[in-house]
Structures are given as C-alpha cells and as structure tokens.
Structure 1
C-alpha cells in the first residue's frame, strides 16, 4: 500500500515587509485583500495543527498543489521553502505551482528557483527551465506522480490558469507511457479541470485538458484553488471515469465560513481485479466547524471509478 497526503492553498503568512516600489499594481490589490480578510482566515496556528497531524499519519509521500505564497514577494518564496522543509525532503514531497505562485511576471520564476528540489522529475537536471519543467514524473512504489503547471501571471482581479498546448501535448505522451508501465497515475494540478467557477478563476483551457484526459486517462486527479472539498468525475478511456478531487485550504481555520481547513490522505493498493487493478481510498482529515481537533471528516472508496488507462 502507498499512502499519499495531499494539501493545497496554504497561503503562508504573514506578508513580509516590502518596499513601496514593490507594492504597485496587482500586488497592491493583493496586499489590501490580505489585510482586509485573508490574514484573519489563514494563520500559522492552523497550519501547525495540520502539519502535526500529517506527521502522525506518516504518509509515504506528500503532494502540494500550489498557492504557497500570496502576492509574489521574493521573501515569500523563501518562507514557503522553509515550510516545505518541515514537511520533508524533496524526494518525499512533490509540488506544483498555483496562480498565486506566479502572481506577477517579475517573480513568477522564483517558485522553480526556490522549490526546484520539490518540482523536478526523477533524474531531471537542476537547470531545467520553466518552459520545459512540466509535466514532470516521479515514480514511487507503483504510483506515478505527474506534476502539471497551470501557473501563469495574470492581470489584476484575475486568478485564471492555463496548461498550454505544448504542455498538454507532452502530458498526453507521458500518460500513455505510464499506462504502458502499469502505474497508478496521479495528476497534480492547481486549477480543477472540471466544475463551474467564475470566469476570473477558471482554467482557460479546461475543455482541452478534459479531452486529453478522456483520450489518455489517469487514475486520479488532485487539485485545489477553490478552497473546498469536492469530488467530481470526468470521462476516461474505454467508458471509465476519472476522479477529480479538490482539497480545502490548508490554512483555513476551524471557524472558516467558506470551508474549514484540512487535507486528504489516499491509500492506494493493487487488487486482484481484471478491470480495476487498483483500490484507492480517500480519507478527508481536518477541522469540524468550530472544533480545533483534527479528525477524519469523510472516507470514500474511489476504486470503482478508475479509468484503467
């Protein structure tokens, strides 16, 4: 059995001090948004409780699907690196970026620059560029972790993402190759490729990504962005279904009216079944409303939905 923990949208605070020149344009709006609401919703005490629970669960690997920073200040990426180190070494933690991690163009490269050990495939060179870094693959005990980036700098008031044609083409080849190896393919992506959301928050090429998954398949897609827990199904090859699972914000407190903070655990194991050779069980752990104890919120078996490639 392989146990995978998934967390997302930690939005690590507090915001570092910044020069006046750094707070122009979109970043100024982000700082205002933080001070008016997010700094009260997201706090380190919440994160510490959830990190302690993850360590107690002792997963084999941890996946982080983006939005570690808030407004793209250079110091935020260093804070995020220190946070990742509390979770584990690069070989044990896999990260993909979110829209906040590419908040403005001038610092969008800092995610890969600082977190490269957590965002590279097996055997990849340390000097990989942002254009060629994704998708990347890590193989762990029969499970393939496929890192996809939707992080692109956007205009003020926009939180959209895009995979892009070149990355989609590479992703199709990657998924086919992993299926031929008989691996359980987990796609890590920040923006969900399905569901309804406001235009300023959408994955711009979501339809193309859905079409790609329908052709090439995956056993599981994990994502974040919306700060809620959600399970949806996408059509996969051969009439199968692909579970797409969103996790809530890792920094939201027990009193959060949007969705209390939490994370997911996946227990993945091979089974003797000609059609579905894997069993995947989702355990959602986090806070109940107003309760600071971290506990199991729901358990769901996803194995009947696997696409099979």
Structure 2
C-alpha cells in the first residue's frame, strides 16, 4: 500500500501586520509592513511538522511582503523538507522563482504542475492573478481527462463558503468556470486551499473542498463585519493512502507559545 503523509500550510503573510489587529477596515483586509510579523508562527508550525517526522510539505500561497521571500525560503530549506509551492494573490512568480526552483511550468507564466503516482494525481494551480485564466483552465481539463482520483492544491477556494469574506470581492474571479470544469469530470477530487484564513469543509458532487487555517491569523467565519482572530494559527496534515485521503487540522494559540490545542 502506498502511503504519503504531507503537511499543507498557507497564508504566512510575513512582514504584514493586519490593520487594526482585530477589526478589519471596512470590507477589505489591509496590511501595514512590519518586519518580523508572523515569523514566530511560521517557526512554530514548521517545528511541529518536523517533530512529527513529516517530510513532504505544500505551501499554499501568500508568503507576505516581497522582501520576506528570501527569509521564507531560507528557513524552509533549512528543514530539508520536500517542498511544493503554489502562489497566492500576494505572490508573484518572479519573486518566488528568485529563491525557489519549481521546475518547468506546465503553462507559460504560471506556477502550475502535476505529479501522478498511479493511484492519485496531485495538481498544483496558480491563482496569483485572482483567477486561473483560460489557458490554465484548459491545462487543468486535460490533466483530469484520464484521472480517477485527484488532489488539487490552489490558493483560492472553488466552492462558495457561507461567510462574509466570500462576499467582499475576495473570491476567485473565474470560480464558476473552474467549479463547472471540476464537477463535469469523472474524477473524484479532493481540493485543498487557503486564502480565507479559516477552517472549512464542503462538498458538491464529486468535489470535496478543505480550507486550511492560516499560519498568520484567522478570520471569524460568521460575524456582522469582517473580524480577525489574531490569537489562533495552524496547518493541516494529509495522510494519502492508495484510495483514501484523511486530514487533520493542527491549531495553536499565541498564548500557548507553540503548544497544539487540537
């Protein structure tokens, strides 16, 4: 039996302090540049991943300020993880490529690629432009044509969430097109994403979506205004067996100095 254990962590926002700390300004997330912001969260998460003997990690996007990328990759490479990286809307391909080699991209100008072990195809998408775009969607369709089971990693959620942040313009611009593409395949899809800074699971037809909590801070799922939770951070563990994917969320609180709460 083939078994792979990997960690999915996302939204580090290094050097980006969320404006007003707990109350988000209006209906949009704002940041001020603050060197060192969230680095302790990232180190706590990476130390915990390493302590569990997990060697495969997927970063789900939004490193932070452009200046933070060098330190981010220097820290990651020190753990000797087998690292896969996708881009979020706070990332650029040029900035990431200066510090991390992901190999040849399947679509020019996009950090997208795939791996197939014969049991499960892992597909990594680039939503840094707040959309996949026509060429990347066409490539994704070709990747899924003959796949029976796939794990897709993308920064933005594809299935809608019942939460205020989903209605503030943060959604993927071509979400409906991507959703239709996925549910019209004969492939069983597990989709792992971040971007919304919360934990969520949803399913529609053949697609099960898992939103992973942010390393930086969370956004309260249900509230009258967009509201941040700056005390909680975490990541997700995936256990991939031949015909099954099990997931577990690991959460920390700032007050516990790195001690996991679940």
Question: Shift in Å at residue 224 of structure 1?
Answer: 0.5
* Post-superposition CA distance 1:178-220 (Å, at most 9, x none): 33xxxx4211100111224134211001011111110223431
Asked if residue 267 in structure 1 is aligned to residue 259 in structure 2, the reply is: no
Q: How does 1:82-93 map to 2 (within 5 A)?
A: 82-88=74-80, 92-93=82-83
Determine helix, strand or coil for the equivalent of 2:260: strand
Over the aligned positions, Cα root-mean-square deviation in angstroms equals: 2.9
Question: Shift in Å at residue 130 of structure 1?
Answer: 6.5
Question: Shift in Å at residue 269 of structure 1?
Answer: 1.3
1:98 aligns with one of 85, 88, 92: 88
2:192 aligns with one of 219, 222, 225: 222
Q: Find the counterpart in structure 2 of residue 51 from structure 1.
A: 46
Greater strand percent: which structure? Answer: 2
CA distance, structure 1, for counterparts of residue 188 and residue 112 of structure 2: 14
CA distance, structure 2, for counterparts of residue 8 and residue 221 of structure 1: 14
CA distance, structure 2, for counterparts of residue 195 and residue 133 of structure 1: 24
Q: Judging changes above 3 Å, is the alpha-carbon distance between structure 1 residues 14 and 134 closer, same or farther for their aligned structure 2 residues?
A: closer
Unaligned segments of structure 2, at least 5 residues: 18-29, 219-227
* Post-superposition CA distance 1:43-99 (Å, at most 9, x none): 2222211111000112241111100123xx3x333223213313435xx11110000
Q: Judging changes above 3 Å, is the alpha-carbon distance between structure 1 residues 94 and 52 closer, same or farther for their aligned structure 2 residues?
A: same
Question: Shift in Å at residue 143 of structure 1?
Answer: 3.8
CA distance, structure 2, for counterparts of residue 8 and residue 87 of structure 1: 17
Determine helix, strand or coil for the equivalent of 2:138: helix
8 Å CA contact 2:232, 2:252 repeated in 1 = yes
Q: State TM-score, norm by structure 1.
A: 0.67
8 Å CA contact 1:248, 1:259 repeated in 2 = no
Question: Shift in Å at residue 286 of structure 1?
Answer: 1.6
Task: State the structure with more CA Rg.
Answer: 1
Q: Find the counterpart in structure 2 of residue 12 from structure 1.
A: 14
Unaligned segments of structure 1, at least 5 residues: 16-31, 103-107, 153-160, 237-241, 271-277, 298-309
